[in-house]
A and B are shown apart, each in its own frame.
Chain A
Amino acid sequence: AQSVTQLGSHVSVSEGALVLLRCNYSSSVPPYLFWYVQYPNQGLQLLLKYTTGATLVKGINGFEAEFKKSETSFHLTKPSAHMSDAAEYFCAVRAPNFGNEKLTFGTGTRLTIIP
């Protein structure tokens, strides 16, 4: 079974400051890990994913995340926040098999950007 914990339901950063959204996972098998962003009244958009290989993953909109097995973490970062980054962010995990394996989502982190 897999689960994710997102620390901090709300994060506020100033425009231009570092964004750090935390995600820790629990998995009985090597996990696939994802970060999604959701804007109000919209579906989810994939920011980035880790499956295998390089542990530092770069995504869209300047975001990146690093898979740290020893810390069971997959934190999302962006060096310089932009007003358009204000949204809800979800970390998700699933087992690394084909087929019906389902995503398990964290509870989400609402990111607010202070002008």
Chain B
Amino acid sequence: GAVVSQHPSRVICKSGTSVKIECRSLDFQATTMFWYRQFPKKSLMLMATSNEGSKATYEQGVEKDKFLINHASLTLSTLTVTSAHPEDSSFYICSARDRGQIGEAFFGQGTRLTVV
């Protein structure tokens, strides 16, 4: 299957700082990428959908000014958590949809963010 690389896998940051998470499709072009947040022992909550070259579409209740998403190319999307607080600590997962595949999204390995 196609490979999605997410970096970093773990990050610890101080309250008030910003953290950037990268999501790359390594061997396919992803016109659409999705960002999820997963709380401990919980399911995935979709945060936003990003399309290459356009603004991301955020789900209801997700602060777009806090979670900045950029999808500048067909192989890269970034999520920046701005002015992080401890309650932002979570597991963040991206997925990318190969525009040549019907229905299948490939997932990155996730990023464990801890804000101290």
A108 to B42, CA, bound (A): 7
Interface of B is mostly: strand
A99 to B51, CA, bound (A): 9
Interface of A is mostly: loop
Q: Is the CB of A42 within 8 A of B110?
A: yes
Contacts of B107 in A (CB 8 A): 36, 43-45
In the assembled complex, the CB of B34 is this many whole angstroms from the nearest CB of chain A, namely: 7
Chain A contacts with B in 76-115, Cβ cutoff 8 A: 90, 94, 96, 98-100, 102-103, 105-108, 110
> How many B residues are at the interface, by size bracket?
20 to 34
* The residue from B43, B51, B104, B112 contacting A107, defined by CB atoms under 8 A apart: B43
List 23 interface pairs A-B (beta carbons < 8 Å), by A numbering. A42-B110, A43-B4, A43-B6, A43-B95, A44-B95, A44-B107, A46-B1, A46-B106, A49-B103, A49-B104, A51-B103, A90-B43, A94-B103, A100-B49, A100-B51, A100-B57, A102-B49, A103-B34, A103-B46, A103-B95, A105-B44, A108-B43, A110-B41
B residues sitting closer than 8 Å to A (CB atoms) are: 1, 4, 6, 9, 32, 34, 41-44, 46, 49, 51, 57, 91, 93, 95, 102-110, 112
